[in-house]
Chains A and B, each alone.
Chain A
């Protein structure tokens, strides 16, 4: 019996002194997430600052939990949010409904919505769980301009960029 006891204590002592520690001191310390981690969504921009989202509502249609709501409006060259004729004037995701399946990402024809690496979502009010476009959209990249932009006529006529098939 002494032997068994000693063996058990040895396991504990070994883990305490000789093995690599795995405990992470969250929230002071955060582990990086994996490449394909599905966290809170972000709405992306092109390099020039135009929004990638064209307000097509396909993410909302693909969403199995009906978490996304999109309302679109018409772009003009004087007030351009995204390339092409259509942009999302309202974009909302209810994070309490979202199941982080990533179907919205799959459905998006312009790679506008991607699931980011933020998993720190907690709310004290149900209404706070609804993320609006302003909360979801990434900041304007270096060298870009904020939307709406004034653009030259005839440049941004196409909503969907010509994209290659994805290679993994």
Chain B
């Protein structure tokens, strides 16, 4: 515990830890000091001068070193001749700060007058208008009139696209550099900077393409004026017209807390639509940030044109048909559930499968889940607590692409002093912040992890760590590989099981795979064989789109029942089936219903309905309950709250979890999202619940997986491995039209330049990949950091790769050239 310093602000006594800045000390006792450039998440720079205050310090007698006392026996205060910036000045013992004297307010007023000299005052059309710190502070502290000459206002460009997602209005910018500092210090992607000087100072982007960062949306939240706006919300609505709905992002297993802003729209026939996604503070998960994927693809798919809808009558008869098929199949039924379902959906589905005697599988290519339920993070864990003395190991995962917020959190942990070890076959963005980088060849993942303890420094960092967290991904691995990798990683944390901030985290590709695992779901090792001649009930998954082998297997299935929110290859396959053999059920999107997700950190979090459910759709758990009822089993289908009560009563890990508990909040620092938008930005305060981390159940896994046999490609073959890109052709990402160009950038196979040369290929040229006897055309992208003889194939792009395989590569000869 740091030493406490006593001081007075506006006469109010305050005790804060040593090193606290005056502006933060004031915040703790609800005294607002206006700021523009200062942000509680970033180092102070004192650029805008808005936070000027009067500071008095006790006068010290030079001879004795003792405070000089006045006639009342109180220490005599010495005030500086000028005002000081409270955002750069740490507190000191006996300090006396005045924020509301005439002198201090005069200073604040003059700074505002200066900032407004060239401000366009186009608040009526500005997207920030209504939640603008400059607007609010001008009303609270600003002058009535300006002494500057109106005609001398500087005019600048009002429409400058920094990238295709973020737009800059140069006139509105007040040069606080919050966006630049966010990119430099927090995101670690320094793509913005100042250009020119004085009144001509401009924000420019250095990167090509512009503003090349996956955290770019956050700059619009912390921009204290309307200079930075997002492409999706530009002129979309005024902030005061929006209603807020708390939710959890469904794009990756981090489970960022978000708020959906909704309003009624004539464009939507007078119905509610989501207008934007904003971060909601949860210091234990996403702090006050979110990635661009969550912001620009987080909800768009729920409003896509390809939504599945049925009218109420048809839904009822379709449910009856599905129930009849399942009741007939009984133990010949196979359930296949994707990780986008909520905990409640998984629970109902599992109950139904158990009652029916059917097999229920989780649809994923990322195995080893049983180890994360046994040795995952437990209650009291917070990646934000990791620092000196702690070790984080990231194996076979490109966190920047797979779970950007974890990348951000681990970067911060490393900068706080944690030992970060990154083991991967290729360079990832996290390497830059790591203490140790381990490069292995694809196929050697498990051996590498087993050999870690044998290495001198790394072994010590792992063995002697106060806390040890291991992230394992599926970079270059399939189901068997990840299962074996999880087993090897689990060995390192076995002894630490149940201890907070220690454990194994799977970097899943779906938001709630962890929840499915906690309910006892597991993937099938040979899915295609399992589906033959069975009645298959598929929920929130697209096996036919992912893998032609599975599509073939589904065609030979007895009946295919698909329950999803969007049209996919699998729903199309079901619809194309002969009468009665293919059934499609429309489910409600997660923005239209209540539920909970379990994040990769095993934190159960609630999401709330943002918009009403589309007519003819129902939440997955309710659909499952209705089908079960028609088959003669009573399941809870009325409310997810009641399902959660059943889960808490029956699942050991969930004991004590209830919707009321999930909605509990505790005080968080920094205080953001209240009336003082100038302090923390426009992210929302968390009033809807921080979630609960599940207890671990050590000892539930016995026996470790044997390592998979490494693949040895032949002379003329390449070793093809699957990788994950942030923006891909996932069912939930493609409907986000703004990201189309970003998705396209990654659409291609990645080769080492030397390998490419061997095949006569260069960056951007077309090639064909021969996989399982089928030729797939693909664009070639080059990357020097990968080894020769390897080809990286991103998942979900046209080439169906699910595990490392040997492929043949050839340059594509265009017809006209031949």
B121 partner, pick from A55, A69, A160, beta carbons under 8 A: A160
**Cβ–Cβ < 8 Å partners of A96 in chain B:** none
With an 8 A cutoff between CB atoms, is A39 at the interface? no
Q: In the complex the two chains form, is B238's CB within 8 Å of A92's CB?
A: no
Interface segment, one of A11-19, A41-49, A71-79? A71-79
Known: A85-B158, A158-B122, A159-B125. A57 touches B267 (CB 8 A): no
B238 partner, pick from A57, A74, A109, A159, beta carbons under 8 A: A57
Kindly provide the distance from the CB of B496 to the nearest chain A CB, expressed in whole angstroms.
54
CA–CA, A71 to B237, complex, Å? 7
Q: In the complex the two chains form, is A54's CB within 8 Å of B124's CB?
A: yes
CA–CA, A155 to B215, complex, Å? 34
Known: A61-B240, A85-B158, A85-B159. A160 touches B122 (CB 8 A): yes
With an 8 A cutoff between CB atoms, is A65 at the interface? no
**Cβ–Cβ < 8 Å partners of A110 in chain B:** 124
CA–CA, A84 to B158, complex, Å? 9
Residues 111-137 of chain B, each 1 if its beta carbon lies under 8 Å from chain A, else 0: 000000000111011000100000000
Q: In the complex the two chains form, is B122's CB within 8 Å of A159's CB?
A: yes
Kindly provide the distance from the CB of B511 to the nearest chain A CB, expressed in whole angstroms.
32
Q: In the complex the two chains form, is B124's CB within 8 Å of A92's CB?
A: no
Residues 143-161 of chain B, each 1 if its beta carbon lies under 8 Å from chain A, else 0: 0000000100000001100
**Chain A 16-56 residues near chain B, CB threshold 8 A:** 54-56
Q: In the complex the two chains form, is B234's CB within 8 Å of A74's CB?
A: yes
With an 8 A cutoff between CB atoms, is B776 at the interface? no
Q: In the complex the two chains form, is A58's CB within 8 Å of B124's CB?
A: yes
Kindly provide the distance from the CB of A65 to the nearest chain B CB, expressed in whole angstroms.
16
CA–CA, A86 to B237, complex, Å? 11
CA–CA, A74 to B291, complex, Å? 25
Kindly provide the distance from the CB of A12 to the nearest chain B CB, expressed in whole angstroms.
58
CA–CA, A61 to B124, complex, Å? 11
Count, chain B residues at interface, CB 8 A: 19
**Cβ–Cβ < 8 Å partners of B159 in chain A:** 85
With an 8 A cutoff between CB atoms, is A157 at the interface? yes
Kindly provide the distance from the CB of B132 to the nearest chain A CB, expressed in whole angstroms.
13
Residues 232-243 of chain B, each 1 if its beta carbon lies under 8 Å from chain A, else 0: 001111101100
Known: A57-B241, A61-B240. A109 touches B124 (CB 8 A): yes
With an 8 A cutoff between CB atoms, is A90 at the interface? yes
Q: Which residue of chain A lies nearest to B169 when distances are taken between CB atoms in the complex? A: A85
CA–CA, A86 to B125, complex, Å? 6
CA–CA, A106 to B671, complex, Å? 36
Q: In the complex the two chains form, is A90's CB within 8 Å of B125's CB?
A: no
Known: A61-B238, A85-B159. A159 touches B124 (CB 8 A): yes
**Chain A 112-168 residues near chain B, CB threshold 8 A:** 157-160, 162
With an 8 A cutoff between CB atoms, is B266 at the interface? yes
Q: In the complex the two chains form, is B125's CB within 8 Å of A56's CB?
A: yes
**Chain B 222-236 residues near chain A, CB threshold 8 A:** 234-236
Q: In the complex the two chains form, is B235's CB within 8 Å of A92's CB?
A: no
Known: A55-B235, A85-B158. A160 touches B266 (CB 8 A): no
**Cβ–Cβ < 8 Å partners of A58 in chain B:** 124
Known: A57-B241, A72-B235. A160 touches B124 (CB 8 A): yes
Q: In the complex the two chains form, is B124's CB within 8 Å of A90's CB?
A: no
Main DSSP-derived SS at the A contact region: loop
Q: In the complex the two chains form, is B235's CB within 8 Å of A86's CB?
A: yes
Kindly provide the distance from the CB of B165 to the nearest chain A CB, expressed in whole angstroms.
15
Q: In the complex the two chains form, is B125's CB within 8 Å of A84's CB?
A: yes
Kindly provide the distance from the CB of B436 to the nearest chain A CB, expressed in whole angstroms.
49
Q: In the complex the two chains form, is A90's CB within 8 Å of B235's CB?
A: no
Kindly provide the distance from the CB of A114 to the nearest chain B CB, expressed in whole angstroms.
17
CA–CA, A139 to B541, complex, Å? 54
With an 8 A cutoff between CB atoms, is B634 at the interface? no
Kindly provide the distance from the CB of B77 to the nearest chain A CB, expressed in whole angstroms.
46
CA–CA, A86 to B150, complex, Å? 24
**Cβ–Cβ < 8 Å partners of A60 in chain B:** 241
**Chain B 311-330 residues near chain A, CB threshold 8 A:** none
**Cβ–Cβ < 8 Å partners of B122 in chain A:** 84, 158-160
B266 partner, pick from A86, A90, A109, beta carbons under 8 A: A90
Known: A56-B124, A72-B235, A160-B124. A90 touches B267 (CB 8 A): yes
With an 8 A cutoff between CB atoms, is B184 at the interface? no
**Cβ–Cβ < 8 Å partners of B238 in chain A:** 56-57, 61
Q: Which residue of chain A lies nearest to B266 when distances are taken between CB atoms in the complex? A: A90
Q: In the complex the two chains form, is B266's CB within 8 Å of A85's CB?
A: no
Kindly provide the distance from the CB of A72 to the nearest chain B CB, expressed in whole angstroms.
5
**Cβ–Cβ < 8 Å partners of B93 in chain A:** none
With an 8 A cutoff between CB atoms, is B784 at the interface? no
**Chain B 206-256 residues near chain A, CB threshold 8 A:** 234-238, 240-241
Q: Which residue of chain B lies nearest to A54 when distances are taken between CB atoms in the complex? A: B125
Q: Which residue of chain A lies nearest to B241 when distances are taken between CB atoms in the complex? A: A57
B125 partner, pick from A71, A92, A160, A162, beta carbons under 8 A: A160
**Cβ–Cβ < 8 Å partners of B125 in chain A:** 54-56, 84-86, 159-160
**Cβ–Cβ < 8 Å partners of A84 in chain B:** 122, 125
With an 8 A cutoff between CB atoms, is B744 at the interface? no
**Cβ–Cβ < 8 Å partners of B240 in chain A:** 61
CA–CA, A158 to B122, complex, Å? 8
CA–CA, A12 to B266, complex, Å? 59
**Cβ–Cβ < 8 Å partners of A160 in chain B:** 121-122, 124-125
CA–CA, A14 to B289, complex, Å? 84
With an 8 A cutoff between CB atoms, is B265 at the interface? yes
**Cβ–Cβ < 8 Å partners of B235 in chain A:** 55, 72-74, 85-86
CA–CA, A158 to B237, complex, Å? 19
**Cβ–Cβ < 8 Å partners of A71 in chain B:** 237, 265-267
Interface centre among B159, B235, B240 (most CB of A within 10 A): B235
Q: Which residue of chain A lies nearest to B240 when distances are taken between CB atoms in the complex? A: A61
**Cβ–Cβ < 8 Å partners of B234 in chain A:** 74
Q: Which residue of chain B lies nearest to A162 when distances are taken between CB atoms in the complex? A: B150
**Cβ–Cβ < 8 Å partners of A90 in chain B:** 266-267
CA–CA, A157 to B234, complex, Å? 16
Q: Which residue of chain A lies nearest to B159 when distances are taken between CB atoms in the complex? A: A85
CA–CA, A157 to B125, complex, Å? 12
Q: Which residue of chain A lies nearest to B263 when distances are taken between CB atoms in the complex? A: A71
Q: Which residue of chain B lies nearest to A58 when distances are taken between CB atoms in the complex? A: B124
Kindly provide the distance from the CB of B783 to the nearest chain A CB, expressed in whole angstroms.
37
**Cβ–Cβ < 8 Å partners of B241 in chain A:** 57, 60-61
**Cβ–Cβ < 8 Å partners of B237 in chain A:** 57, 71-72
Kindly provide the distance from the CB of A73 to the nearest chain B CB, expressed in whole angstroms.
6
Q: Which residue of chain B lies nearest to A159 when distances are taken between CB atoms in the complex? A: B125
**Cβ–Cβ < 8 Å partners of B267 in chain A:** 71, 90
**Cβ–Cβ < 8 Å partners of A109 in chain B:** 124
Could you list 9 examples of A-B contacts with CB < 8 Å?
A54-B125, A57-B237, A57-B238, A61-B240, A72-B235, A74-B234, A84-B122, A157-B158, A159-B125
Please provide the 4 A-B residue pairs with the shortest distance between their CB atoms, ordered closest to farther: A56-B124, A86-B125, A90-B266, A159-B125
Q: In the complex, given contacts A85-B159, A86-B235, A160-B125, what are 11 additional A-B residue pairs having Cβ atoms less than 8 angstroms apart?
A: A54-B124, A54-B125, A57-B238, A57-B241, A60-B241, A61-B241, A72-B236, A109-B124, A158-B122, A159-B122, A159-B124
